[in-house]
């Protein structure tokens, strides 16, 4: 098939090489928003949703991002796709600085980066049929002939576990899990290299969550996909991810291999998140330490370590000196003076 048609090489033939340069890099990435306060909005502040985050993701791996609501996980994902323009810092995709690309070149790069959203129903246009929803990216980028696109829609539906007759139905006729499968099929339509999964199972029943997670893992193996998996549930993230980054108030507090983060967490915030994982043994639940207090306002953040107002290890140094990420063991970093 020629260049104007659907890709000639199937996704399942894509090879994954973990030794190559990172697929995606964030370098000192900052995303802030202007905020006005006061009766007449005369006071101006900056809300730092992402604050000096640096990370890299290799081709074919899954990087999990965890943290409480409002910690900046989703904003980081949107900024990596340049759906939010970075306030400062760089986003590199295959070594190319996205902020330096012309609109036409950026459009081509964005075909390689797609997103799966938290609320499947809200992300699907209720006025369009499933066929129109999945085919829309192919139409926008003028990929293939109309007949090619129709065939591709049905192929994608089968890949995510839906039958051909789903194409002519509307999103409201499906369950939440089926709607998320439609969203996944749409994300796969342009044959991306990177999928940003923003809380893809948090709105689904537990039994359906397992089906979607297993589907995502199967698709990654079959198509050589790279994932950024965003979740507030560190247990689910550990199941999905090769590495985990823990975020708090826009900062990266700890990052390392999933097994290390889950079994040997070194930052007190990571330990607190793990203590919140449901435990079937009532006695074990009583022994767990709970995270106390509320997340401080991102407009008026604490000085020093951002976690010191809730930290059980807090010492005077923590309130005045901000810790930097330091390597504690191979590929395992934590931003804590006493980790």
Query: pLDDT value at position 228?
Result: 97
In this prediction the pTM is: 0.88
Query: pLDDT value at position 290?
Result: 61
Q: How are strands ordered across the β-sheet holding 62-66?
A: 113-116, 194-198, 226-231, 62-66, 243-248, 251-257, 332-334, 326-329
Half-sphere exposure of 5 (CA within 13 A, CB side): 11
Whole-angstrom Cα distance, residue 310 to residue 327? 23
Whole-angstrom Cα distance, residue 64 to residue 257? 10
Residues 6+ apart with CB under 8 A from 218: none
Contact (CB, 8 A) for 242 and 257 = yes
Whole-angstrom Cα distance, residue 326 to residue 331? 10
Closest by CA to 332, choosing from 258, 247, 275, is 258
Mind giving me the DSSP string for 38-100?
STTS-EEEEEEEEEEEEEEE-TT-EEEEE-STTSSHHHHHHHHTTSS--SEEEEEETTEEGGG
Whole-angstrom Cα distance, residue 57 to residue 37? 38
Strands 88-93, 194-198: pairing is: unpaired
Tokens of 271: 């330990």
Helix (H/G/I), strand (E/B), else coil: 268? helix
Query: pLDDT value at position 21?
Result: 79
Query: pLDDT value at position 298?
Result: 82
What residues in the chain have per-residue pLDDT under 70?
1-20, 38-42, 279-290
Query: pLDDT value at position 14?
Result: 44
The mean pLDDT value of the chain amounts to 88
Helix (H/G/I), strand (E/B), else coil: 158? helix
Look-up of token digits 């589907």: 215
**CA 248 to mean position of chain CA atoms:** 15
Neighbours of 261 (CB within 10 A): 28
Residues 6+ apart with CB under 8 A from 97: 90, 91
């Amino acid at each position: 098939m020629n260049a104007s048609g659907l890709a000639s090489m199937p996704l399942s033939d894509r090879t994954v090489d973990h030794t190559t340069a990172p697929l995606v890099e964030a370098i000192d990435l900052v995303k802030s928003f202007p905020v006005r306060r006061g009766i007449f909005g005369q006071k101006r502040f900056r809300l730092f949703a992402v604050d000096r985050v640096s990370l890299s993701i290799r081709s074919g791996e899954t990087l999990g991002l965890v943290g409480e609501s409002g910690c900046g996980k989703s904003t980081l994902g949107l900024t990596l796709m340049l759906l939010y323009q970075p306030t400062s810092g760089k986003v590199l995709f295959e070594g190319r600085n996205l902020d330096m690309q012309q609109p036409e070149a950026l459009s081509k790069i964005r075909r390689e980066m797609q997103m799966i959203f938290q609320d499947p129903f809200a992300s699907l246009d209720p006025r369009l049929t499933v066929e129109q929803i999945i085919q829309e990216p192919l139409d926008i980028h003028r990929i293939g002939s109309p007949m090619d696109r129709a065939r591709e829609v049905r192929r994608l539906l089968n890949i995510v576990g839906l039958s051909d007759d789903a194409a002519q139905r509307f999103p409201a006729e499906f369950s939440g899990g089926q709607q998320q499968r439609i969203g996944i099929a749409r994300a796969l339509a342009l044959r991306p290299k990177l999928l940003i999964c923003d809380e893809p199972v948090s709105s689904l029943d537990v039994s359906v969550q397992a089906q979607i997670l297993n589907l995502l893992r199967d698709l990654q193996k079959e198509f050589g996909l790279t994932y950024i998996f965003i979740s507030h549930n560190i247990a689910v993230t550990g199941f999905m991810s090769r590495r985990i980054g823990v975020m708090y108030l826009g900062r990266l507090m700890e990052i390392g291999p999933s097994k290390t983060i889950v079994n040997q967490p070194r930052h007190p915030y990571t330990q607190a998140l793990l203590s919140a994982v449901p435990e079937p043994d009532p006695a074990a639940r009583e022994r767990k330490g709970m995270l106390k207090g509320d997340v401080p306002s991102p407009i008026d953040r604490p000085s020093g370590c951002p976690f010191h107002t809730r930290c059980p290890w807090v010492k005077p140094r923590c309130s005045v000196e901000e810790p930097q990420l330091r390597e504690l063991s191979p590929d395992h970093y934590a931003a804590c003076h006493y980790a």
